Structure 1
């Protein structure tokens, strides 16, 4: 059966104002102009969130498969058709059990992969990461997790200044796992060394990093200026000032900037008390902070809200769409399957009204909302 979705189609090469997406089975079979369309909704590719810890009251950080399914379903309702389940710093036993629990969900297509944000991070820049679990990178741990996941482990965030980090980055790159630089107090030179070793993503750039100084540019400048690095940005108006968001986008370009949510369980939920990696989190006015020192503890963002925020900040819609779908998909190696409205890719799309609110969501050729 062929399904046609008409409207203003946002493709990697521009906007087809009078467009049509044709879907056969779970694939896009055609993208074309459709002259009879008048003032339809926006049609954009399904969002790809490569950094989220949960949502809708559910979390990925405990390694529970049922909770992971529910969190993925929550974000799917907001247009995220592909996501990485991000964990936080934890004992190796939890990393191992989470890999075992989530690998079947990856192979079933519920998740696009697993992202370990830690525990190989800087104590000085740990943010909401639990300092109790921070440690130097372990080649043995990484090798076991990669083997256990059988393709499920997609990305690992680490601080390049820690002992053994460059060797770990090289190992990850050799195994086809994305090495990301984040929660780091590294110098500009140390960050450049990590990139040379194979790191290709900057984890929520600006946040959890040594700040920019004119005599020591640090990781931010190294990541934004590296032509082979994709920079994650949290577009929620809390993590980044709008001027910082647009500066980063203008500097690296939409082809190297990926919007992420960094969401935790409180996304889509009321203000109140929550938990992240064994630490108490208080959410007030939608902002999540550690109950102790007030550090930002992830976000309550969804990808549709990130898109709206970026556009409101001045990022052109086609660029913002690239940043919520095409760029993140390419960054984690799934751009040959999802992330754009192109013939042959999986039929993941989001229908948005003129306020960029979600109207309908299609995943693999099926309407899910």
Structure 2
């Protein structure tokens, strides 16, 4: 179907085009027209006039656990689809359902449920694109497990993780670099084209260096559940060694991500990460759980068998001990906060929630920016950066 979106402020990878139009056909972008680029073509298809609102590329969440009362680890197709639909309402047009620490059987059940949602969706809710799974846990350091179940943390064993990779659904793979067997895990993930990640780890610079040689290129939620110089010293003694933080900042090829919900990290830390890594190596993620768009209360993080309880006040999740846990807001909140509270240009904030995660996960030829040839996945934003409409493949999936 042909589609023309006109009178839009189009957010490109490096600038904003005012009074612009985007032409689509067959679910793909065919042209982006700014002032002076010619007449907007007539069409026998659909025409949408945005009245000066923003047209953003659809957001891409590479680290997300659930929403609307459901967790991906619930292991049912209904839970997968409900969680995905919750994030679509916040402008996420592509996501990677993210696992937690759990048993082998529970992880395989979630993988099967994601496969069903991708291949034979029920049609109960409009869905974003599910590009693959983020295997996140169970290969964590127990002392850095955060709100994940410590009892389910374990070292990676080929007999187990090869079953996950053989499904063909794992696109992002996380493991703590200091664990025995991590090198084999990283190499297996690299050979399958995954974004290879270190997370929930107390690793030193030298351990990160070894992981890098095995294919690791990304670190999850910067400053959260990760090593510091002091924690490495406590584990390995003197002399003091560099930690994950120093390795990421000192290695240009490394990327990372931040939870910009206004609670996990202060504005100065978010600005620091943006300045140090730049927009092409820093992703925004939600790390959001089932409490998204739910009333304040007590929620299970992970599955009913192995999960633990967190408390949501509607703004952030906390463990029962009061410490920060998973986020309870979606990626649109992160974009708004980075721009309005942190002072990052809107173009950069949007890029870190779209093109940068697309590039890091190897899907940028298809999605991540508004450019000819890309999929027609869009978010219409008000002047206050609230989600007004969402389009997937050129079709309206949500209107608020």
| Change in CA separation of 1:112 and 1:38 when aligned onto 2, cut-off 3 Å | closer
1:2 CA displacement: 2.1
Contact 2:63 2:98 in 1 (8 A): yes
**Counterpart secondary structure, 1:351:** strand
1:144 aligns with 2:145: no
Pairwise CA distance, 1:107: 4.3
Deviations 1:148-168 (Å, cap 9, x if unpaired)? Answer: x2x311112110000010121
- Report the alpha carbon displacement of residue 115 of structure 1 after superposing the two structures with TM: 1.0
| Partners of 2:314 and 2:328 within 8 A in 1 | no
Q: Secondary structure at the match of 1:314?
A: coil
| Cα distance change of structure 1 residues 100 and 285 upon mapping to structure 2, 3 Å threshold | closer
- Larger mean CA deviation between 190-199 and 298-307 belongs to 190-199
Partner of 2:295: 270
Pair 60,32 (structure 1): closer, same or farther in 2 beyond 3 Å? same
Distance 1:336 1:38, change over 3 A: closer
How far does residue 340 in structure 1 lie from its aligned partner after superposition? 0.7
In the alignment, the residues of structure 1 paired with residue 94 and residue 136 of structure 2 have an alpha-carbon distance, to the nearest angstrom, of: 18
TM-aligned CA deviation for residue 285 of structure 1: 4.5
**Which residue of 304, 307, 313 maps to 2:335?**
307
Alignment of 1:104-183 (within 5 A): 104-107=116-119, 110-147=129-166, 149=167, 151-183=168-200
Residues 89 and 129, structure 1, Cα contact 8 Å, conserved in 2: yes
Residue 218 of structure 1, aligned match among 243, 265, 274: 243
Taking structure 2 as the reference length, what is the TM-score of the superposition?
0.88
Deviations, residues 100-151 of structure 1 (Å, cap 9, x unaligned): 221233346741211121111111111111001010011221211111x2x3
User: Is residue 280 of structure 1 aligned with residue 312 of structure 2?
Assistant: no
Deviation at 1:212, TM superposition (A): 4.9
Could you state the TM-score of these two structures normalised by the residue count of structure 1?
0.95
- Secondary structure of 1:180's match? strand
Match of 2:324 among 264, 283, 296: 296
How far off is 1:225 after superposition? Answer: 3.1
The answer to whether the Cα contact below 8 Å between 1:156 and 1:178 also exists between their aligned partners in 2 is: yes
Shift of 1:38: 10
Please tell me the root mean square deviation across aligned C-alpha atoms, in Å. 1.8
- Displacement after TM superposition at 1:84 (Å): 0.5
For 1:244 and 1:217, the matched residues in 2 are separated by: 19
Give the Cα–Cα distance (whole angstroms) in 2 for the partners of residues 209 and 178 of structure 1.
Answer: 18
In 1, are the aligned partners of 2:63 and 2:134 still within 8 Å (CA)? yes
Render the CA deviation track for 1:287-306: whole Å, top value 9, x for unaligned.
21122x33322111111111
Going from structure 1 to structure 2, the CA distance change for 1:38 and 1:28 (only over 3 Å counts) comes to closer
| Alpha-carbon contact 1:233-1:260 (below 8 Å) kept | yes
1:74 aligns with 2:93: no
Structure 2 unaligned residues grouped into runs of 5+ = 40-48, 121-127, 234-239
